[in-house]
Chains A and B, each alone.
Chain A
């Protein structure tokens, strides 16, 4: 069975601080895919990134960066120089090769204060 843990329930930072959201996953499959989604107050989930299990390269996209480490089964997400618009709930999700469905973590609520 697959499982995703996001141990941080809520995080509050002041604007311009860096913040890292943790994601730890469990799966016995050797091929799997990891995702991050953002859920702003309006409610819809916005896809941010997909990473497959064979690619451990870190990725940077503007102020966002992701650190994938298979050795610790983690896929952490860092926001650099946070902004108020980053305030949202962030979900980490896992999908395995022979499964068709996502397993979502419980989410981390990020509040960026001005």
Chain B
């Protein structure tokens, strides 16, 4: 089945540690996105990529980094510089046109130990 796979489902980070969230899609979509969702709040864009080897910062990129070496993969690293990383992280992908819906993964819930 085509879709987006995020792993792990739950992740715990120690103080000062970098952690990487995985996002893989087999929908052949050019565009991929990372969102952060805090309890009771909407989605905020962290980073997005419209094409391999290119990505742009979203509204809340500080403390995060990404790479886009392959079309199907868009991993997100939460660095130690992100002081409040506890949140639900959602990855999405879409055809690279603004009228196309984004398709979402099941999310990763990150907590601080």
Chain A positions within 8 Å of B, measured between CB atoms, are 9, 33, 35, 37, 42-47, 50, 52, 91, 95-102, 104-107, 109
State whether A35 touches B106 (Cβ < 8 A).
no
Chain B positions within 8 Å of A, measured between CB atoms, are 31, 33, 35, 40-43, 45, 48, 50, 58, 88, 90, 92, 96, 98-107, 109
Residues of A within 8 Å of B107, CB to CB, are 43-44
Residues of B within 8 Å of A47, CB to CB, are 101-103
With A45-B90, A45-B104 in contact, is A97–B98 under 8 Å at CB? yes
Count: A-B pairs, CB below 8 Å: 58
State whether B43 touches A35 (Cβ < 8 A).
no
CA distance A104 to B100 in the complex (A): 15
Q: What 9 new A-B contacts, CB under 8 Å, besides A101-B45, A102-B45?
A: A44-B104, A45-B90, A45-B102, A46-B104, A95-B99, A97-B99, A100-B48, A101-B33, A101-B98
State whether A91 touches B42 (Cβ < 8 A).
yes
CA distance A35 to B104 in the complex (A): 14
Q: Could you give 22 example pairs across A and B, Cβ below 8 Å?
A: A9-B40, A33-B98, A37-B104, A42-B106, A45-B90, A45-B92, A45-B102, A47-B101, A47-B102, A50-B100, A50-B101, A91-B42, A95-B99, A97-B98, A98-B98, A100-B48, A101-B45, A101-B48, A101-B58, A104-B43, A105-B42, A107-B42
Residues of A within 8 Å of B100, CB to CB, are 50
Shortest CB-to-CB span from B8 to chain A, Å, is 13
